[in-house]
Chain A
Amino acid sequence: MPVQKTETPGLVELRRQLLAALTLFGGLAVLVLIGALVSPRTVDGDNVFLNQRNLFDILARVSNVGILAVGMTLVILTGGIDLSVGSVLSLGTVVAAMLLLERGWHPGAVLAVPSLAFASGAVAGLGAWLFAGKARPAARAGWAAGSFLAAALLAGGWGAAAAPNGMPVPGVVASVMAVGLLVGCLNGVLVAYGGLQPFIATLATMISIWGLAWLIPGESNARRNISTAVGTAHEPFNWLGSRIANVFPVPTLFFFGAVLVAHLVLRYTGAGRRVYAIGGNEDAARLSGVPVAGMKVLVYGTSGLLAALAGALWAAQYHQGYPDAGLGYELWAIAAVVIGGTSLVGGRGGLPGTFMGVLMFGVLENILSLVEAKTNWQRLVTGAIIVMAVLLQEGRLKAALHRSLRAVSKPLLRMLQGEKHK
């Protein structure tokens, strides 16, 4: 193969991403400008859109889908897709509500405690495996297995002791995330080891987990309401859906945190480079020693974990666990990722774009609701904006305009020339 003189791929990719993010930032700025201009005013003449409360409302509103979109970005970068995130979110709301409200060994606890044991074991085992990187293979495996067992027993034992009497809120959130991790890992295993197409594998879990989310609370009592009363045990949980100092939404904190951590991992760690490598060319990645299957399980697992976290936050925001909570959210998450410039083929894109994509959706939805656009107009405009935003990236809008102009003008020219020849 001829040696090509190019810049390092990382730099090219970074520049491309920054450019895309800047374009998107431009798009977002335009949207905000439109919002400020068309916004209604209060009786005192204040601009409702630019009102501080409203701007933070936008952040609060997009945080759930935003967290899903972070996991989705990772999955899509490997060339996959995760359709199950909406259902996992739903399951997360249900398990969170049940762990808060119920005592004893209810189905929610029966699901959550073993998941917690598995997740703790998996995290500890993976940690030990990485830590013992230079040890002999046998010793390394031994360390990993030992850590897995120890952590699983510890966490499982704690969960089994705590769950029947009501877990503290951090335990509830950790258990919910563990359930998500388990489902995500199942997706990963189906894709990486089962050889299923990601679309099919995650479609199947999407359907099954939706069913599970209905079965666990029981169909007749599926909506579990979490009291908003002050002074009850639910108060610390409700904090997750509230505003810090009555201003900054707590779910947004998690959203920003997830974006930041995922971005740093993608950009500065070997694991991140492997994600891009798998999406870019899976066979090449495998041949150069990337543990493709393991990475996929990790990526799908992360997506599931984040989806369940979003479920816990959803439950705190809307004060309920409900099996239909996340219905259709996967499509919004995918749309935000794609608007953000991450290629559905994999290997190209990243979190800055996704972040902008999520914000654009939030601002758009907010503007449409403030100008009291009717539902079907909202839908119509949203679809059109998706198309525009995707065309806007990388100057594709210009190219598309050129192309369509040419398509119109060429036959026109030919026609005119034809006239001349006669």
Chain B
Amino acid sequence: MRWRTPGWIAAGLSAIALAGCNGGTTPQSGGNAPGGGTRRIIGFSQVTTAEPWRSVFNQQLEAERRNHPEVELIVQDANDKTETQVQQMEGFITREVHAILISPKESAGLTDVVARAYDEGIPVFVLDRNVEGEKFTCFIGADNVEIGRQAGKHAVQLLGGPGKAKGNYVEVWGGFGTKPSADRSSGFHEIVDKEPGLKKVGQKVDCDWKLEKAQNFMESVLKLYPEIDLVYAHNDPMAMGARQAAEAVGRADKIRFLGIDGLPNEGVKWVKEGKLAATFLYPTPGAEGLRQALKKLNGEAVPKEITLKTDTITQGNADKYSQ
């Protein structure tokens, strides 16, 4: 049997090809944009989008872009691969975009290509994870140690206040050997370890940021420790997983659950439903990155590093973050 390509498939393919060509045009510097201002072409290399936080990151960046009609944003997804991201950066350099935003997979493999773009005179804004050295325009990210501290303070408040806090808590680890987990842990312990009345129960187990692993981990912890007052998880889904394990044995109401990230569809929603006591916002740096890039292109000075503020999200202010 032989296959004939139906017309609509051919049409679709040529449409894709055309779209590709359109994206491939070299920017004409100084051209006029529909919004009136000077046309700005900005490339953005995102490490991956298959992750809820990254997805919100892209959405919030896109929302900010709509405020700037002169900006043409080229968003590329590196599928979690350093090599792909290097290629995308090289592509941006060749196309002579006006500025580059990059949220790198890791520092070692991307430092060189970021420096190359910077040396070519393209302002580079590094988002969320940093590269090594000084050859970039500005780094924008959140401070996980500070987020950990806030979570620690909140935990101490919930368990009786500074100096008087009493109880057993469980820490649910994200990924071993990842900086966010290490930072979220050290910030938390900075505060909590000062309290003689607080005792950590349960081992350090790699729950890999996953809800089901946290649920399985908590299932064992609940069997071993009859008294648990609080669970601190390095992200919201794991806090939720721990809660579900406690629900299954009827102990959820006696335990306070704290998470981190505060995504509208996850942590914020769960806080509103009363499932989590609080979550701590891990803000996305995309929108701020675009604003800083435009400032730079307009000739204003930008700082070398910007730390985004976190916030404690409880039932009182959750509406503000549900978008």
Residues of A in contact with B (beta carbons under 8 Å apart): 40, 42-43, 48, 51, 53-54, 57, 61, 214, 219-223, 225, 228, 314, 318-320, 322-325, 366, 369-370, 372-376
Contacts and interface: CB of A to CB of B under 8 A. Distances in A.
B56 A228 contact: no
A220 B55 contact: yes
A318 B241 contact: yes
B219 interface: yes
B64 interface: no
Nearest to B173: A375
Nearest to A215: B50
B215 A372 contact: no
Given A219-B50, A228-B247, A318-B215, A48 B224 contact: yes
Interface residues of B, number: 33
Contacts of A319: 244
Interface stretch (B123-131, B137-145, B187-195, B206-214): B206-214
A25 B142 CA distance: 53
Nearest to A220: B55
B56 A372 contact: no
A220 B249 CA distance: 32
Interface string B213-246: 0011101100110100000000001001100100
A222 B266 CA distance: 10
A51 B241 contact: no
B265 A324 contact: no
B29 to A, nearest CB: 33
A51 B265 CA distance: 38
B52 interface: yes
Interface stretch (B149-157, B197-205, B296-304): B197-205
A372 B247 contact: no
A373 B205 CA distance: 8
B256 to A, nearest CB: 18
Pick the 10 closest A-B CB pairs, nearest first: A220-B55, A372-B203, A375-B206, A369-B220, A219-B55, A318-B212, A48-B223, A219-B49, A375-B205, A214-B50
Contacts of B56: 220
With most chain B CB atoms within 10 A of its CB, the pick from A42, A324, A366 is: A324
A177 B176 CA distance: 36
Interface in B21-59: 49-50, 52, 55-56, 58-59
Contact of A318 (B206, B244, B266): B244
Contacts of B241: 318
7 contacts: A220-B52, A220-B58, A221-B265, A223-B265, A223-B266, A323-B50, A374-B203
> By CB atoms of chain B within 10 A, which of A61, A220, A323, A373 has the most?
A220
A282 to B, nearest CB: 25
Nearest to B237: A223
A42 B223 CA distance: 8
> In this complex, which of B59, B220, B237, B266 has the most chain A Cβ atoms within 10 angstroms of its Cβ?
B220
Contacts, number: 70
A322 B211 contact: yes
Contacts of A222: 50, 52, 55
A318 B219 CA distance: 12
B290 to A, nearest CB: 18
Contacts of B203: 372-374
Contacts of A40: 224
B224 A223 contact: no
Contacts of A374: 203-205
B49 to A, nearest CB: 5
A320 B176 contact: no
A228 B55 CA distance: 26
A222 B269 CA distance: 14
Nearest to A228: B247
Nearest to B58: A220
A325 B55 CA distance: 18
A42 B59 contact: no
Nearest to A227: B273
B212 A54 contact: no
Contacts of A322: 211
A5 B59 CA distance: 73
A374 B216 CA distance: 14
Contacts of A225: 240, 269
B7 to A, nearest CB: 23
A42 B226 contact: yes
Instruction: Determine which residue in A53, A54, A318, A376 has the highest number of CB atoms from chain B within 10 A of its CB, and name it.
Output: A318
Contacts of A373: 203
Contacts of B249: 53
Given A223-B266, A375-B206, A369 B49 contact: no
Interface in B242-272: 244, 247, 249, 265-266, 269
B211 A318 contact: yes
A370 B224 contact: yes
Contacts of A214: 50
Nearest to A64: B212
Nearest to A324: B210
